[in-house]
């Protein structure tokens, strides 16, 4: 296992020429993404019993462990590793401080080619660079046109759908159009996944940092470097251009130290597998590949980033999209309350009520709630702004919207959603130092009764732990969802 890890990660340093800072960002993300491969693919080479039972976090009851998934993927291992032909994968690096449907704004995009088990090509670039005047782009979704002044759907906005298989198809097509390259899979990685990786590697001594970088302080250290780059430029002293050119110079240093740690073998590999399992289960890493057998395993494990409604059962997924060109999701606090009642009797359709509470705790002012794209004096300034949110509630097919509160009626719509769901949506704003309560009430389809009631609640990728209160016909539960899913009743009951 150690030799496999070193072989794969050792190629990161020998990447072809690319924009240095962006490539370094990609290197750090690939360290996470390839770790995913080590966990899932590498486990196929080990007997599940070889993994320490106490060292690998379990997935939800309906999911799989790394070892279980690895064993099931064993027949597809040659395909994944490009033993018959090179395989090329995209890595979407998502900033979950600016939340988008699959976990965050696509800040950078990587292309990784694996040929006979070795990374033979590694190229990362800024998502803004993927645009061609010669290409014809589809129109952006209507909410993006109306609230973000985005006319065309380009690669950096490809993740409009919260269903990763749907987003992956869009990303594949846009990437092929922009670059001429076809890809065999799409993976997403966000800051939470990086936290998990650093937590497994242990404290990293990075030049220029205040002290050792750990899972607990990585976010604040990144913000500090963003405010005052290693090169010393700030917007106040050097102007926006010099600062912009240096603001990510810290990334190569973190990547280099992390990769040196892995390549040197000074790694707790069971802890690394645990980090992979946690990242997959909390949806900070997700994957889709163009191979039916592999995709079936990812879907069963709920690592495919897809929406997963079940026929005959209740389903709830709340998806927020930050439309304000800011980093307010670093501060926004969310709570969810969900109640289901059968007011007309158990044989009549149930009434579901979703209460969403958004708290913006930053004590600041954003006069006029200006959504214009702009940088401020520092990262905190981009957090201390109004939150412009387009929220979508995904319910079972056949659900009917009754009422919405907390969103202007003109902003509300109801339409068919992905994977046969029903989507209720609307746009609203939350000012700093304030709270917004949004309520959706709707009628569930017939056939869902108190006796057969089951619920699958899906937490959005890229969000923090979600406090949830359930009230199902008088039976209550209060919990905090830290993984990707919550089931009612709990498995085994």
**Where do the structural domains in the chain lie, given as residue ranges?**
2-301, 314-488
Asked if 186 and 166 count as a contact pair (C-beta separation under 8 A), the reply is: no
Q: Is the pLDDT of residue 104 over 50?
A: yes
Q: Of 19-23, 437-441, 462-466, which range is least confident?
A: 19-23
261 pLDDT band, cuts 50/70/90, is confident
The β-bridge partners of 95 are: 105
Asked if 421 and 467 count as a contact pair (C-beta separation under 8 A), the reply is: no
CA 81 vs. chain centroid, Å, equals 24
DSSP state of 266: -
C-alpha torsion angle, residues 15, 19, 22, 28 (rounded to 10): 20
User: Of the candidates 463, 449, 440, which has an alpha carbon nearest to the alpha carbon of residue 394?
Assistant: 440
- E strand segments, 258-360: 285-289, 314-322, 333-341, 351-360
Cα gap 34→477, rounded to integer Å: 38
Residue 127's pLDDT is 86
Cα gap 192→461, rounded to integer Å: 10
Cα gap 158→137, rounded to integer Å: 11
Residue 392's pLDDT is 98
Cα gap 99→425, rounded to integer Å: 16
* CA angle (54, 212, 200) in 5-degree steps: 20
For 190-219, the pLDDT digits (tens) are: 888 888 888 888 898 888 777 898 889 887
Q: Is the pLDDT of residue 483 over 70?
A: yes
User: Of the candidates 172, 194, 227, which has an alpha carbon nearest to the alpha carbon of residue 94?
Assistant: 194
The β-bridge partners of 352 are: 340, 442
Continuous H helices in 11-136: 20-43, 66-73, 77-80
CA 345 vs. chain centroid, Å, equals 40
Q: Is 180 left (phi over 0), alpha (psi -120 to 50) or beta?
A: left
Asked if 333 and 359 count as a contact pair (C-beta separation under 8 A), the reply is: yes
229 pLDDT band, cuts 50/70/90, is low
Residue 191's pLDDT is 85
* CA angle (296, 92, 110) in 5-degree steps: 110
Average pLDDT over residues 30-39: 46
Domain 314-488, CATH class in plain words:
mainly beta
Main-chain phi, psi angles of 411, to 5 degrees: -95, -5
Q: Is the pLDDT of residue 281 over 50?
A: yes
For 288-329, the pLDDT digits (tens) are: 999 999 999 999 999 999 999 999 999 999 999 999 999 999
Asked if 413 and 425 count as a contact pair (C-beta separation under 8 A), the reply is: yes
Q: How many CB atoms lie within 10 A of CB 358?
A: 20
Q: Which tokens is 397 given? A: 């097919």
Tell me the C-alpha to C-alpha distance, in Å, between residue 424 and each of 162, 316, 317, 363, 470. Answer: 14, 11, 11, 31, 20
62 pLDDT band, cuts 50/70/90, is low
Tell me the C-alpha to C-alpha distance, in Å, between residue 340 and each of 352, 403, 414, 439, 449. Answer: 5, 15, 20, 13, 10
Q: Is the pLDDT of residue 25 over 60?
A: no
In percent, the amount of the chain with pLDDT more than 70 equals 80
Asked if 204 and 217 count as a contact pair (C-beta separation under 8 A), the reply is: no
């Amino acid at each position: 296992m150690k030799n496999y890890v070193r072989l794969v990660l050792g190629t990161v340093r020998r990447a072809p020429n690319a924009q240095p800072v962006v490539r370094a960002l990609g290197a750090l993300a690939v360290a996470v993404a390839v770790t995913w491969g080590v966990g899932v693919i590498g486990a196929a080479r080990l007997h599940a019993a070889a993994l320490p039972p106490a060292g690998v976090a379990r997935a939800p009851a309906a999911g799989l462990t790394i070892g279980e998934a690895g064993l099931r993927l064993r027949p597809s291992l040659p395909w994944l590793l490009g033993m018959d032909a090179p395989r090329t994968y995209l890595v979407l690096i998502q900033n979950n401080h600016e939340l988008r449907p699959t976990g965050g704004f696509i800040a950078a995009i990587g292309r990784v080619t694996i040929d006979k088990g070795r990374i033979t090509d590694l190229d990362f670039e800024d998502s803004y660079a993927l645009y061609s005047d010669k290409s014809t782009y589809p129109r952006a979704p209507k909410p993006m046109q109306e609230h973000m002044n985005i006319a065309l759907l380009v690669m950096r906005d490809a993740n409009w759908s919260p269903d990763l298989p749907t987003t992956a198809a869009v990303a594949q097509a846009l990437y092929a159009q922009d670059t001429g390259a076809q890809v065999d899979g799409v993976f997403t990685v966000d800051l939470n996944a990086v936290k998990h990786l650093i937590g497994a590697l242990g404290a990293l001594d990075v030049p220029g940092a205040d002290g050792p970088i750990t899972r607990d302080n990585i976010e604040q250290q990144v913000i500090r470097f963003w405010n005052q780059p290693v090169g010393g430029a700030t917007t106040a002293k050097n102007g926006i251009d010099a600062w912009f050119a240096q603001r990510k110079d810290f990334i190569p240093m973190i990547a280099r130290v992390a990769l040196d740690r892995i390549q040197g073998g000074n790694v707790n590999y069971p802890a690394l597998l645990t980090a992979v399992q946690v990242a997959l289960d909390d949806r900070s890493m997700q994957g889709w590949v163009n191979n039916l057998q592999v995709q079936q395993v990812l879907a069963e494990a709920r690592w495919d980033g897809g929406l997963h409604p079940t026929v005959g059962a209740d389903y709830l997924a709340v998806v927020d999209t930050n439309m304000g060109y800011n980093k307010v999701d670093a501060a926004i606090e969310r709570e969810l309350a969900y109640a289901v009642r059968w007011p007309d009797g158990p044989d009549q359709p149930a009434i579901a009520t979703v209460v969403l509470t958004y708290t913006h705790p930053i004590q600041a002012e954003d006069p006029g709630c200006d959504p214009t794209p702009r940088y401020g004096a520092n990262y905190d300034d981009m957090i201390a702004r109004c939150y412009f949110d387009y929220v979508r509630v995904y319910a079972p097919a056949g659900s009917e919207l009754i009422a919405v509160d907390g969103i202007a009626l003109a902003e509300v719509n109801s339409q068919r959603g992905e994977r046969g769901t029903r989507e209720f949506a609307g746009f609203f704003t939350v000012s700093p130092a304030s709270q917004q309560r949004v309520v959706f009430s709707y009628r569930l389809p017939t056939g869902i009764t108190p006796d057969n009631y089951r619920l699958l609640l899906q937490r959005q990728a890229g969000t923090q732990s979600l406090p949830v209160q359930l009230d199902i016909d008088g039976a209550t539960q209060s919990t905090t969802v830290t993984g990707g899913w919550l089931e009612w009743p709990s498995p085994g009951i």
